Amino acid sequence: MIASSEAVPKNSQFLIQKSIFLLASSVGKAVAETIIHQGIQQMGASPTTLTEADIPGLSIKVKPALEKFVGEEKAERLTSALRVLVGGMVSK
């Protein structure tokens, strides 16, 4: 995890917090934080360089972890919402 919120550019920090907020109502804040940060690591990305263009890839990485908590159907809805609401992408 990131030691200081100042270490992350504001846009990256905003995307991360928005992603966590979206998932938190379904899995809890601590689990959402863990899932998002693990997804970023699995992508080989950095929380400091995360952009909107990375969100579709992040949604793919977090889906398996989400499925363990909410099931396949809800995980699909959550990852679709992540792509649209956080990444600004049209849902597939």
pLDDT at residue 35 in the model: 97
Find out whether 65 and 38 touch, Cβ atoms under 8 Å.
Answer: yes
Angle between the N-to-C axes of helices 72-81 and 10-27, in degrees from 0 to 180, rounded to the nearest 10: 150
Structure tokens at 67: 């499925």
pLDDT at residue 10 in the model: 72
- Verdict on whether the full-model pTM lies above 0.75: yes
Divide the 92 residues of the chain into consecutive groups of 10 and give the mean pLDDT of each group.
50 93 96 97 92 93 97 96 81 47
Domain ranges of the chain: 9-86
pLDDT at residue 87 in the model: 76
pLDDT at residue 3 in the model: 45
